[in-house]
Amino acid sequence: MAGLLSGLDQFGLTGLEDMNLYEKPKKAEVGEDGKEAKAREYKHMTMYEAAELAKRAEVKQMWLTHYSPSLVHPEQYESKVKKIFANTVISRDGRSCELMFEEN
């Protein structure tokens, strides 16, 4: 996480370390129960943390693509993740899209 945070300076996203991305959501928002500590141990994020980061970065769309092997049905968290960042895609193998870059 530290490498990610230091690399985000160039995008004007300093101060993310103050967001406490590992803070447990309120009971109504809990998904991936009990996974925060394990995510931290393996230097990963939960879906909620990724959604918070996407929201703060003001990205147009976020694809969740890399899941824990213990997470058999990631789509079960989709509605809760979309409450944090609405334009979230729960991806599966083989998903693709055409990227359209804006001219400057």
Rounded mean pLDDT of 14-34? 47
List the Cα angle 57/38/71 in 5-degree steps.
80
Model confidence at 7: pLDDT above 50: no
What pLDDT does residue 34 have? 67
How far is Cα 75 from Cα 79, in angstroms, rounded to an integer?
8
How far is Cα 101 from Cα 53, in angstroms, rounded to an integer?
22
What pLDDT does residue 46 have? 85
**pTM, to two decimals:** 0.62
User: Which tens digits make up the pLDDT trace of 38-92?
Assistant: 777 777 788 888 999 999 999 999 999 888 887 889 999 999 999 999 999 998 8
